[in-house]
Amino acid sequence: MNNIIVLPMVLPLLLGALLVFFQQKIVFQRMATIALFLVNTGISILILQLIQKEGIISLDFGGWAAPFGISFVADSFSMLLVLTANIISIVCLLYAMGSIGPKRERLYFYPFTMMMIAGVNGSFLTGDIFNLFVTFEVMLLASYALITLGATKKQLKASMMYIAINVVSSSLFLIAIAFLYGMVGTLNMADISQKITETGQTPLLTVISLLFLMVFSIKSGLMLYQWLPHSYSAPPTAIAALFGALLTKVGIYALFRTFTLLFYHEQQITHTVIGIMAVLTLAGGCIGAIAYTDIRQIVAYNLIIAVGFILIALAVMNIPAFEGAIYYLIHDMLMKALLFILAGTIVYLTKTAKLDEMSGLIRNYPLLGWMFFIVVLSLTGIPPLSGFIGKVLIGEGAIASGSYVLLGVGFFSSLIVLYSLLRIFMSCFWGETIISTEEKRPFRKSFLFPGAILVGCTFLLGFGAEAIAPHVQHAAQTLMDPNMYIEAVLEK
């Protein structure tokens, strides 16, 4: 029965390979991808319930027992993220169908998306650090293809930097793995954790952990985010939404995994550094979000603020903070996808990304305006929307550990989020309507439907937080107590 946990990665991989042969059959590709992600969502929910019943599930490939073979491990944390990733894929694909255009659809948009999601799900599920590198590469290679898809000049320019920085950080990742393997002689994460506990986290291991921190910081946009706003504002909206919602979150997941499972012994060093980086990320993100007048840049900087905010939880390291981080991570994935979609729609409708060149959209597109307003509230953390519970719990965790600076900066950033997004809202939707009926771009229902699903999700997650509470609690306990993870993998 535990074979089921490989499906969220394998199904998209197989279908992606298959769809390459149906290049011209766009309708078939659309149906197949949506059907697959629906199935995948179902499977993820099933696995989550299985974990509640039987504890963490692990699977050793080829029957090679845990430290020797490659294993997949599904705990509540990874499965919640897999579930969210699949829901977001459905939404972004629905939006892509209405907006991305037949040219890009024929350029293997769907197969590449499938490959990328396979990489994302694989990164969440793998229990082997080298396998994590491989799944990262699967995800990144597909994302290289997606970011250049259609090959407009702007995309080509942005992708150069994106690819260069990711190739270099992948090399650093390999260097870190090489050193770690040289020190502990194993690649299975549970086994590494056990070995580190036995020998103690020596200064050398702490240095290696900082190397890992740097690698994942580049991937997740923690402090080393300078590549991010530029590259994420170039590709078409649906692709940017996928990137914004999923790719940085995989980096955050990897940070949580390595610094709760492997390197949790020297918290005065590693977790203090993470805390400082989180504060700098929040500060940089806030400055960027206020400074720019390009709507896509503002949205990208909002993404960075969220990264800093979630990493506060890792810096303070206690159960309420972890619960908050998981709630907030799920919320942020959903809402950032929606924010990117809405911002992209606004740019499409007004033909400009400059704030001061647009106004009065609410008269033409009232529903769009209201949806944007709900996102603003949700991202700021107004109850009963989904951002609230995550923010409260992270704040509770920060108070419990006495990190008042982190608490203050974190909550101050919420105000900046509110300000920067309200600025978009006011200058886009309020004021005089300047788009005349003749030059109005055609507005399709298919722009709003995917967004409506996500708005539904934020209400559901806000009101129904109790429903996923057992999973979130289990996930937070696993993060806090690495032995639960180790026992599930090594002692079956």
Residue 167 CB, shortest distance to another protein, in Å, is 4
Q: Of 242, 296, 236, 300, which is closest to residue 92 (Cα–Cα)?
A: 242
Residue 357 CB, shortest distance to another protein, in Å, is 11
Is the Cβ of residue 296 or residue 391 nearer to another protein in the bound state? 296
Residue 133 CB, shortest distance to another protein, in Å, is 8
If you ran DSSP here, which 8-state letter would residue 61 be given? G
Query: Cis ω on the peptide bond leading into residue 102 (within 30° of 0)?
Result: no
CB proximity list for 398: less than 8 A, separation 6 or greater:
312, 316, 321, 404, 406, 407, 410
Is the Cβ of residue 29 or residue 297 nearer to another protein in the bound state? 297
- CA–CA dist 29, 106 (Å, integer): 10
Residue 254 CB, shortest distance to another protein, in Å, is 17
Is the Cβ of residue 180 or residue 315 nearer to another protein in the bound state? 180
Residue 130 CB, shortest distance to another protein, in Å, is 6
Residues in contact with another protein by the rule CB under 8 A: 130, 133-134, 137, 141, 144-145, 148, 151, 153, 156-157, 159-161, 163-164, 167-168, 170-171, 174-175, 177-179, 181-182, 187, 230, 292, 294, 354
Pairing of strands 57-60, 71-74: antiparallel
Question: How long a stretch of residues is the chain?
Answer: 492
Query: CA angle, corner 402, sides to 396 and 408, nearest 5?
Result: 70
Identify the residue whose tokens are 């994106």: 162
Is the Cβ of residue 101 or residue 185 nearer to another protein in the bound state? 185
CB 113 within 8 A of CB 236: no
Residue 232 CB, shortest distance to another protein, in Å, is 13
Is the Cβ of residue 69 or residue 384 nearer to another protein in the bound state? 69
Residue 149: φ, ψ to 5°: -60, 125
- CA–CA dist 300, 154 (Å, integer): 17
Is the Cβ of residue 111 or residue 390 nearer to another protein in the bound state? 111
Residue 356 CB, shortest distance to another protein, in Å, is 11
Distance set, CA 360 to CA 343, 348, 355, 406, 492 (Å): 15, 15, 12, 38, 62
Q: How many helices (H) and strands (E) does the chain have?
A: 22, 2
Q: Of 232, 212, 219, 231, which is closest to residue 344 (Cα–Cα)?
A: 232
Residue 52 CB, shortest distance to another protein, in Å, is 35
CB proximity list for 291: less than 8 A, separation 6 or greater:
none
Is the Cβ of residue 159 or residue 386 nearer to another protein in the bound state? 159
Residue 211 CB coordination number (10 Å): 17
- CA–CA dist 213, 479 (Å, integer): 17
Is the Cβ of residue 79 or residue 177 nearer to another protein in the bound state? 177
Is the Cβ of residue 176 or residue 274 nearer to another protein in the bound state? 176
If you ran DSSP here, which 8-state letter would residue 69 be given? S
Residue 161 CB, shortest distance to another protein, in Å, is 7
| Distance, CA of 429 to chain centre | 28
